Structure 1
């Protein structure tokens, strides 16, 4: 019977580690999520790891590769351990993660230019504003009305409800 373990990988090398582990006939689970980001001013949908730097693997301890062989695989740093022994991940957790479908309909969505939004916190809390454009990945440029005049302000995306 296969047992599931959690591996810690070198930063940004999870895909390399997964490829090398699969070459050794080790079952890997590397959950990714598709999100929408603004990169260089353009809205793009990209895949990002759900758990950066971690990969779940299933191996048979009696007949599969040894822990030393797995730890020596390119991209892998070590097993996640509690004490001296690698932590054995419950199968129910893997099944739950595989069955869980993330609702991506609102995740990472950015309003369109001209859409009315509400500022929920910060110095302009309670103001209604008009979305202009994104200012990087974490801020937006909004138009608010102050003393009967439209003023551009930069607001953290976490402070805005759209």
Structure 2
């Protein structure tokens, strides 16, 4: 019967570890999510690790390599452990992650159009109406608010605004 474990990998070497583990006939699950980023001023969709530096592996203890062999695989640091023993991840968690991975959570149409009026719900400008200008990275937006009869450009966290 297959059991799932969690491996901690060297920084930025999850893909390498996955490749070397798969070469040893070890089942790997490396969940990735597609996110929109602004790279050099252009909007791009890129794949990023859902859990950076971690890989789930499925092992059948009767046929799999030893824990020592797995730990010495290129890119792998060690098993995630509790009480000195490698933590066995519930199969239900892996199944839920695989189901969620198939859904596209990021919908680019959710961003307001430039010039659209939005409301700031929290933060230092809470309660103000603002005019959406453009995104500023992944988590902020540039807005125009009116202060003392003058429009001021501000950067606000996307969690602090309500799109109408």
CA offsets 1:68-95 (integer angstroms, 9 cap, x no match):
1100001101011111211111222212
The residue correspondences of 1:46-65 to structure 2 (distance < 5 A) are 46-65=46-65
Output the TM-score relative to the length of structure 2: 0.88
Structure 2 unmatched ranges of 5 or more: none
What CA distance in whole angstroms lies between the structure 2 residues aligned with 1:135 and 1:58? Answer: 40
Tell me the distance in 1 between the aligned counterparts of 2:6 and 2:88: 8
Q: Which residue of 1 is the match for residue 77 of structure 2? A: 77
- SS of the residue 1:19 aligns to: helix
CA–CA separation in structure 2 for the residues paired with 1:108 and 1:51: 26
Counterparts in 2 of 1:155 and 1:102: CA distance versus 1, 3 Å: same
Q: How does 1:69-148 map to 2 (within 5 A)?
A: 69-100=69-100, 101-106=102-107, 110-148=111-149
**CA deviation after TM superposition for structure 1 residue 2, in Å:** 1.8
Quickly say closer, same or farther: Cα 1:94–1:136, change in 2 above 3 A. closer
TM-score (norm 1): 0.89
Cα distance in 2 between the residues matched to 1:39 and 1:64 = 41
SS of the equivalent of 1:125 reads: coil
Asked if 2 retains the 8 angstrom alpha-carbon contact of 1:35 and 1:108, the reply is no
Distance 1:143 1:19 in 2: 48
In 2: Cα distance, 1:131 partner to 1:4 partner: 46
RMSD: 2.0
- Deviant stretches of 4+, over 6 Å: none
1:107 Cα deviation from its structure 2 partner? 7.5
Per the TM alignment, residue 25 of structure 1 is displaced from its structure 2 partner at its CA by 0.6
**How many residues matched?**
162
* 1:106 CA drift (Å): 4.1
